[in-house]
Amino acid sequence: MSQKVSKVFQQSGVIPYRVQDGKIEVLLITTRNYQRWVVPKGGISNGMSPPNSAAKEAWEEAGIVGQVDTHELGSYKYRKRGKSYQVKMYLLPVQEVSEDYPEVGQRQRQWLDVNKAIKRVKLTSLKRILRQCLKNKSRLSVLTYYSN
């Protein structure tokens, strides 16, 4: 008997962060229906690398700009409307925050301490990636320093 192989759609996303008063803050955004707090992510655009596509999503969904760290943090999987997705995650030290961006009327955004962000996010696998960020505070500080 043959087993149906389900396609896993590839996506990429970012953990947007900044250092404010010596503390690391992460930017979370809501889903379009405002039901959950998430990070910017989406399908990998044709002809783009996963980090570049993640940067594009960060602009469209959150109005943020920065140089995405090309070192993959990890990945997580989720299901939505019967489809499976795998998201490759990257760090994004935020350099600019715009008040005018493509999805400004469809989402909310909020800067949070990493621990508060972990509590607010529902997906366990995304919480795990955020915890990794917390463990790598020194790396985040170095990335922030070199991106400014």
Mean pLDDT, range 126-139, rounded to an integer: 76
**Structure confidence at residue 138 as a pLDDT band (50, 70, 90):** low
Question: Predicted confidence band at 140 (pLDDT cuts at 50, 70, 90)?
Answer: low
Tens-place pLDDT, residues 63-108: 999 999 999 999 999 888 899 999 999 999 999 999 999 999 999 9
Domain range annotation of the chain: 8-146
Identify the active-site residue in 25, 60, 61, 99: 60
User: Residue 2: what pLDDT?
Assistant: 55
What local confidence, expressed as pLDDT, does residue 56 receive?
98
User: What does each C-alpha distance from 32 to 27, 38, 100 come to in angstroms?
Assistant: 16, 10, 16
The mean of the pLDDT values for the chain is 88
Question: Which is it for strands 8-20 and 23-30: parallel, antiparallel or unpaired?
Answer: antiparallel
Phi, psi of 98 (to 5 degrees): -100, 150
Residue of 74 and 3 predicted with greater confidence: 74
Tell me if residue 25 is catalytic: no
Residues 6 or more apart whose CB falls under 8 angstroms from that of 28 comprise 37, 38, 39, 109, 110, 112, 117, 120, 121
> How confident is the model over 16-36, as pLDDT tens digits?
999 888 888 999 999 998 889
What amino acid is encoded at 8 in this protein? V
pLDDT at position 14 is 97
CATH 3.40.1050.10 correct for 8-146:
no
**What are the angstrom distances between the C-alpha of 146 and each of 9, 21, 61, 123, 142?**
33, 17, 25, 31, 6
